[in-house]
Structure 1
Amino acid sequence: MAYKIITKCPVCGSNLKITRLRCSKCSTVIENEFELSKFAYLSKEQLEFTEVFMRCRGSIKDVEKELGISYPTVRAKLDEVVASLGYKVDKKSTISSSEVIDKLEKGDISAEEALNLLKE
C-alpha cells in the first residue's frame, strides 16, 4: 500500500527532501537528494483550491459559485497559494472601483463585499 508523501518535518515543520527512490517492479534503488515540485508543499486545502481554480480556468466568478464563497475569500485563498509557492503577493486589490460597481450591479457580489473591495 502506498501512502501520500509527507513534505513537512513533523518535528520542526521544515520542508523534507526526498533521498531514496525504489522501483516497485524490479526493486532498483536510487539514492540522492531529489527535488519536489513547489505544488508538493501546498497544504491539502491549498491544493484542493488550486484544483478548483484550474478546473474553472482561472475564473474567479466560477470559483465563487463552485465553492460557495465570496470574491474577497477567493482572492485571499489565491494570494495564500501564490505566497506558498514562493511568489510575492501584491497586497493592493487588482480590481478597479468600476469593476466592483459592475459586479454589484450584476449581483455577483453583495453590497458588503463591494464596500470591502472598495476599502482595499
Structure 2
Amino acid sequence: MIGLRKWRMPSQCPACSGELTVTRLECSHCGTAVEGRFDASPFARLTPEQQEFVAIFLRARGNIKEVERELSISYPTVRARLDAVLEALGYRVDRAALEEETREKQARRKEVLDRLNRGEITAEEAVAALKSL
C-alpha cells in the first residue's frame, strides 16, 4: 500500500481499553500479507511522549543530567518519567527505595551546605561535592 499515510499502531482497544493483538502484517513494498497472532513490541505500549523520552534517554546514554539539560526539566521529573516508562513496560518500580534514595541525597546536600556555612570547606569544594552527588 504505497503512498498511504502510516498511523501509530494502537496498543489498547478503543472500546474496552484491553490489550490489542497484532494479527496481520503486510509488506509495504509488494503487498504480501502474513496473518496470525503476533506479539507486539512492549515499546508499542508507550505513549508518543514516553517514546520520545526513551529516545532522548538513550541518546544521552542514560546520563540523567544530560536528559535534564536537553528537556529543561529537574532530576525528580526525569526520574518520574523514567519510572512511568518502566511501569508501562511492565516492570515494578520500588517507590519506597526511590524515596529513600532521594532523602539520602538531600541529606548529603544539606551536610555539604552546612559544612560550607561553618567554614569547614571552601565554596569550590562545596560545588565539587554537590556536583558529585
Say whether the fold is shared (TM-score over 0.5): yes
What's the TM-score once normalised by structure 1's chain length?
Answer: 0.77
5+ long unaligned stretches in structure 1: 109-120
What's the TM-score once normalised by structure 2's chain length?
Answer: 0.70
Letter in 2 for 1:35: D
Instruction: Indicate the residue corresponding to 1:60 in structure 2.
Output: 64
| Greater relative CO (CA pairs within 8 A, separation 6+) | 1
Shift in alpha-carbon separation, 1:49–1:16, aligned structure 2, 3 A: same
User: After the TM superposition, which parts of structure 1 deviate over 4 Å for at least 4 consecutive aligned residues?
Assistant: 102-105
Equivalent position SS for 2:30 = coil
5+ long unaligned stretches in structure 2: 114-125
Q: What is the CA deviation profile of residues 14-66 of structure 1, one whole-angstrom value per residue up to 9, with x for unaligned ones?
A: 22111011223333221100111111110111111111111111011111111
Larger Rg: 2
How many pairs were matched up?
A: 108
Q: How many angstroms apart in 2 are the aligned matches of 1:42 and 1:19? A: 20
Instruction: Find 1:70's aligned residue among 55, 68, 74.
Output: 74
User: Could you say what the CA RMSD is over the residues aligned between the two structures, in angstroms?
Assistant: 2.5
Instruction: Indicate the residue corresponding to 1:30 in structure 2.
Output: 34
Equivalent position SS for 1:21 = strand
